[in-house]
Amino acid sequence: MTQDVLIETTGKAGRIRLNRPKAIHALNTDMCVAMAKALAQWHDETAIEAVLIDHAEGRGFCAGGDIRLIAESGAADGAKAREFFFEEYRMNHALFTYVKPVVAFMDGITMGGGVGISLPGKYRVATENTKFAMPETGIGLFPDVGGGWYLSRLPGRMGQYIALTGHRIDGAECLALGLATHYLPSDKLEQAKTRIAEHPGDIDAILAELATDAPEARILAHRQEIDRLFASDTLEDVLAALESDGGEWATKQLETLRTKSPQAMKVSLKLLLDGASMPTFEDEMRQEYAVATRVCQRHDLIEGVRAVIIDKDNAPQWNPARPEDVTDHRIDTIFAPLPEDEAWSPA
């Protein structure tokens, strides 16, 4: 078993502890497989009554997925990238449909793949260290791992704003938006884990007792602007609204969006539009897998990873470079269902 994730049991709880500190616990294929295997094993073990997900040593909860591997594979035949997405989404779906309570501790950076392993949990604990984001449009990707499902269900147009801009929110903001269920000081987390492992039937009471009042959620100050300026599911309309507003906040958002991949932003808007009415999470993951397998082999992801992660020049050359050149046909091609023998399926 990979040592990048530590699988153990403590008392009546199964423990999944991410253990890639140098990569801020970013997920790789082996980690996803190991996590799914543990969940399957604990499913029928009556001695295990809850599952706790956190990180072992080092900072951050989980910075995402193995983006470098995805880009390198995408530049070749895409096989390893497809394998990663397939196994990651199976693990995400297993968490979403799990019969036993899952408690995720979002202590530190919780981005991309980290969102995918925390938001399916019944209990999602934020702290003063939480830095939550779905920053994928900046590397030519899209908010996957169920992003189309979760973000489309946030209040107003918050999900569209977070998906397009990659805006980072803190623990208090996560709580206010319903992304987190509880806000605990980080120095109470070990106590929470120990007590939950001993008394998994009392999770609600334990977390309620240890929770503290969260600071003010700063994002709510811009709620009306976000709902108004990000109201459209058409990217060009959003950009036009921000431009015509001309205010300081709107101008800042416009500058941010101009650094993102136009293709990735259009994919993200369609993902949330579809996700809002997706019948089941399984349907969501099937669609996201089809989209991911295509996006990972297109220019913008490979170029975005080069610019942001490999060369770090932060000057990606997007293609198409202009939103109006990302045609509806291109987006429809990316979203087309895969042939049955290539499609994603749950474990």
Domain boundaries, the chain: 5-335
Q: Specify the pLDDT at position 300.
A: 97
Q: Is the pLDDT of residue 313 over 70?
A: yes
pLDDT tens by residue, 238-283: 999 999 999 999 999 999 999 999 999 999 999 999 999 999 999 9
Q: Is the pLDDT of residue 1 over 60?
A: no
pLDDT tens by residue, 3-36: 999 999 999 999 999 999 999 999 999 999 999 9
Q: Is the pLDDT of residue 175 over 80?
A: yes
Active site residues: 65, 113, 136, 144
Q: Specify the pLDDT at position 59.
A: 85
Would you identify the CATH topology of the domain 5-335?
A: 2-enoyl-CoA Hydratase; Chain A, domain 1 (3.90.226)
Average pLDDT over residues 186-198: 98
pLDDT tier for residue 2 given thresholds of 50, 70 and 90: low
pLDDT tier for residue 213 given thresholds of 50, 70 and 90: very high
pLDDT tens by residue, 27-55: 999 999 999 999 999 999 999 999 999 99
Q: Is the pTM of this model over 0.85?
A: yes
pLDDT tens by residue, 51-92: 999 999 888 999 999 899 999 999 999 999 999 999 999 999
Average pLDDT over residues 139-155: 97
What's the mean pLDDT when you consider all of the chain? 97
Name the one residue in this structure whose structure tokens are 């269920």. Answer: 181
Q: Is the pLDDT of residue 131 over 90?
A: yes
